[in-house]
Structure 1
Amino acid sequence: MGLSAPVVIVGGSTAGLATARELRDLGHDGPLTVVSDEAEPGYQRPPLSKRGLREELPPADAAAGLDLEVVLGTATGLAPSVVELAGGRTLPFDRLVIATGARPRRLAAPGQTGELVLRSREDAADLRAALARASSAIVVGAGFLGMEVAGACLAHGLAVTVVDVDRPLERLLGGFVSRLVQDRLAAAGGRFLRGRATLLGSPVNGVDVDGGRARLSADVVVTCVGDVPNVKWLAGSGVHLADGVVVDGRGRTNLPSVFAAGDVVCAAWGGNLTRRPFWANAMTQGRLVAHSLLGLETPVPLWDDYFWTEVMGCAVKVTGPTPLAGEPDAVEGTPEEGALFRWDGPHGPTLVAWGHRLSAARLRRLRLEPPEPAPAAAESAR
């Protein structure tokens, strides 16, 4: 493809804007159109749950200086070389990037109102306003987002209960890290209740746990139970769909001239097709797809092995294969003062920096270094 051919990116997401920026950096000077169903495209989502519930929302400035056209609208279909939008408008393209991301998975029954979620700037503004009026909160879901929301609720001085069928972060980081997370939640004044939650009330004002084992009420109930890829608009298009848009290692779909990046992507990982909706993957895939789209050698793999979160003020950075199991093979430091944990798994090592002042780049380099040999046992006295 030439450097002047028109490109359409559906989705003003992190991945979509990363693709646009990389295209311009690589010299693409043709028409570049980004379709966004949000009025403020081009902002980073991680700060919404980390700072956005406590401070001002981050600016929506990721599209600054990119010389692109932003079309506010919702994609409703894909035909050969044409994106169909709500209202009947169509956008022709020479190359297309699908970067429509995902939407929150919801627990509310049909017609049940008042379920709070966190995905967009609007969600963050609504939730922050609700927290300012509340004295108690229930967070359903003890994954990364759920624990970050729980931390924000505690920072607002709310009584907080987290409910999930698995212990905090256990599905991805295993029991060892989960225990640290649960201890930190308790030390901050929060409570964890293990079980399956059903939302109560309309508007929602509580949860039922395990069919009546416990019934809880709160001023604010937030569900953080995963996401669903935004692929309904691709029905009938011929794009290969599984749990998202299936791509190869260069971000290409099964249709010529159609690529995908970000949370909507489904690809091979550990022998299975999966999605890995982390910010680092969205950024990496944006760069990769821009190179692939221009016919250039791709400088990075499809998957990035790095992600990070914040647990009640403690930064947790991870690089390497997951999920984790068992105790770490090596420990440096202490959880109280900052620690580095290492698991040596069959697919390579994984490092977890717990409250440790390490940059992402330094953590990645440490993962590639061989572990320090264990000190030789002292010769027994004769």
Structure 2
Amino acid sequence: MNEDHSIVIAGESLAGVTTARELRRLGHRGPLTIVGDETHPAYNRPPLSKQVLDRAQPGDATRLQLTDDGITIVRDGAAGLDLDRKHLRLGSGATLPFDKAVIATGASARRLAPPGRTGENVLRTLDDARTLRDRLATAQSAIVIGAGFLGMEVVSACVRERVKVTVIDVEPPLRRLLGPFLSGHVSERATAAGVEILLDPGGVTLIGDPVNGVRFGDGTERTADLIVTCAGDIPNTGWLTGSGLEIAGGLVIDAHTRTSHPDVHGAGDVVTVRTATGLVRRPFWANAVRQGQVAAHAILQHPGAPAVFDDYFWTDLLGTAVKVVGDLPLHGPPEILDGTLADGALLRWRTPHSTTIVAWGLKRPLPRLRALAAAP
């Protein structure tokens, strides 16, 4: 690609910022514009449910620094894409021409309440995290809907703030991703910390306006001072309607981040990746970084691009640090390579096609975990 060509990145997300940084690192010197619809400068999302919710932590520790010269930030929303004219339409009505475009508009929190009903809290943006932090400071009780990674991090914040908390899901905490072995240990730790775990296979509905509780499938109800929904996310692809790009559970890209149009790439939580086994969506921090890097390599036709997935994830569950390198979900019991589950352990799951390493409450550097996962 001509290094003077203009590139527009829709989304001031981690994937969008990473793409811009990598383009500059690889030598692109042409016009480079990032479109972001938040009032805040670019920031990391993992700290939102960790440091930002912890009032003992100094500051928000979320800012993504953009130090490269020549990157223009446009504070507006992406509203449409004209691939014939190669224009990105903004919410203000203005348009931005481009030679290449990158879609990195991320995802939005899935809500259970209908539009217009107040009182439901979610955690996706910096403003969401600050609001939730303030609410935790005054709440006496909370209900968290969804016992995945995000939900259990919110539960952990409730425990830390001494807020009586109930977590509700269709299955035990983290069962879908970590499997029954580790899910059982998460449940044990949560129960020991005073967390109430309730299951409803049909899912709950929200009650009240403002929302102040939930209704179970059997008709019983439960109320609390604070209701937080952690029920997954929805890729921000609505603005691409009519563009002609393939959308299927997200913006469809290939292993080189290419969309169905040769001059448009995608990266981060907005995308679904077409693989040999089907469409796969893995909205983890490390994958957003990796896909931004891959997009830059592909746009510049630069050799040495890494794989489109980097399956690394970390969390903190009720004071237990957890690092995961490798494929999820996990099945069956692991090999215990070091330590014990009570005091911290290094665990390994192996299948004929992959190896997953988990550092459970045990400090191990990421390079060592990657090496173990790659070992034959």
TM-score class normalised by the smaller sequence: over 0.9
Matches of residues 27-42 of structure 1 in structure 2 within 5 Å? 27-42=27-42
Task: Choose 327-336 or 305-314, whichever is displaced more.
Answer: 327-336
Matched, 1:272 2:278: yes
Residue 67 (structure 2) pairs with residue 89 (structure 1): no
Amino acid at match of 2:345: A
Of 124, 135, 160 in structure 2, the residue corresponding to residue 119 of structure 1 is 124
Query: Are positions 1:314 and 2:320 aligned together?
Result: yes
Three-state SS of the structure 2 residue aligned to 1:283 is helix
- Deviation sequence 1:113-144 (CA, Å, 0-9, x none): 11100000010111111111111111000000
**8 Å Cα contact 1:13/1:41 also seen in 2:** no
Q: Which residue of the partner structure matches residue 15 of structure 1?
A: 15
Q: 1:125 to 1:285 in 2, by over 3 A?
A: same
Which residue of 219, 225, 232 corresponds with 1:219? 225
The question of whether the paired residues in 2 share the 8 Å contact of 1:21 and 1:66 is answered with no
CA contact (8 A) 2:48 2:62 kept: no
1:203 paired to 2:210: yes
- Mapped to 2, the partners of 1:44 and 1:298 lie a distance apart of 26
The one-letter code of the counterpart of 1:250 is: H
Cα 1:34–1:271 shift into 2, 3 Å: same
> Aligned-residue CA RMSD in angstroms?
1.3
**Larger radius of gyration between Structure 1 and Structure 2:** 1
CA contact (8 A) 1:292 1:298 kept: no
Give the distance between the partners of 1:89 and 1:239, measured in 2 at CA. 21
Higher mean C-alpha deviation, range 49-58 or range 241-250: 49-58
Which position in structure 1 is the counterpart of 2:164? 159
Structure 1 residue ranges, 4+ long, deviating more than 3 angstroms after superposition: 64-67
Aligned with residue 246 of structure 1, among 249, 252, 259:
252
Letter in structure 2 aligned against 1:3: E
1:200 shift after superposition: 1.2
Q: Does 1:231 align with 2:237?
A: yes
Task: Give the SS at the match of 1:297.
Answer: coil
Q: Distance in 2 between the 1:271 and 1:330 partners?
A: 30
Q: 2:150 aligns with which of 126, 145, 156?
A: 145
Counterpart check, 1:76 vs 2:79 = yes
Shift in Å, 1:109: 2.5
**Against the structure 1 CA distance between its residues 159 and 77, is the aligned structure 2 distance closer, same or farther, given a 3 Å change threshold?**
same
Q: Secondary structure at the match of 1:242?
A: coil
Contact 2:254 2:275 in 1 (8 A): no
- Unmatched segments (≥5 aa) in structure 2: none
Residue type matched to 1:70 in 2?
A: I
1:271-327 residue CA offsets vs partner (Å, 9 max, x unmatched):
120210000000011111111110112421011121111101111111112211111
Query: Which stretch has the larger CA shift, 44-53 or 361-370?
Result: 361-370
For 2:276 and 2:162, locate their aligned partners in 1 and report how far apart those are by CA, in whole Å: 42
Matching residue's letter, 2:356: T
Name the stretch that deviates more: 87-96 or 328-337. Answer: 328-337
Q: Deviations over 1:81-105 (max 9, x none)?
A: 1001112100000110000000001
> Separation in 1 of the partners of 2:208 and 2:154?
21
Contact 2:142 2:163 in 1 (8 A): yes
Cα pair 1:330 1:343 within 8 Å, conserved = no
SS at match of 1:20: helix
Corresponding residue of 2:198: 193
Alignment check: 8 A CA contact 2:150 2:230 kept: yes
Normalising by structure 1, report the TM-score.
0.94
* Cα 1:176–1:270 shift into 2, 3 Å: farther
CA positional deviation for 1:176: 0.3
In structure 1, list runs of 5 or more residues that go unmatched. Answer: 371-382
Residue aligned with 1:241, SS: coil
Determine if contact 1:250/1:298 at 8 Å carries over to the other structure.
no
1:291 paired to 2:297: yes
What residue number does 2:311 align with? Answer: 305
Contact 1:40 1:60 in 2 (8 A): no
| SS of match in other structure, 2:321 | strand
Change (3 A) 1:269 1:308: farther
Which one is further off, 347-356 or 327-336?
A: 327-336
| Alpha-carbon distance in 2 for matches of 1:43, 1:303 | 21
Distance 2:304 2:232 in 1: 30
Cα displacement (A) at 1:269: 4.8
What SS does structure 1 have at the residue aligned with 2:116?
coil
Tell me which residue corresponds to 1:380: none
* Helix, strand or coil at the partner of 1:133: coil
Q: Verify the 8 A CA contact 2:268 2:288 in the aligned structure 1.
A: yes
**Aligned mates of 1:347, 1:331 — CA distance in 2:** 20
Go from structure 1 to structure 2 and tell me whether the alpha carbon gap of 1:240 and 1:336 turns closer, same or farther (over 3 Å shift). same
Deviations 1:53-112 (A, max 9, x none): 113312424323453111111111100210011121000001100000000011003432
- Structure 1 position 8, deviation (Å): 0.3
Change in Cα spacing, 1:266 to 1:298, as seen in structure 2 (3 Å) is farther
Q: CA deviation at 1:354?
A: 0.4
SS in 2 for 1:346: coil
User: Identity, % of aligned pairs?
Assistant: 51
- Code of the residue aligned with 2:262 in structure 1: it is P
Q: 1:223 to 1:209 in 2, by over 3 A?
A: same
Of the three residues 63, 67, 70, the one matched with 1:64 is 67
Q: Output the amino acid matched with 2:28.
A: H
Structure 1: which amino acid aligns with 2:240? L
Question: Which is worse superposed, 340-349 or 40-49?
Answer: 340-349
Distance 1:197 1:263 in 2: 26
**How many residues in Structure 1 have an aligned counterpart in Structure 2?**
369
SS at match of 1:44: coil
1:62 is paired with a residue whose SS is coil
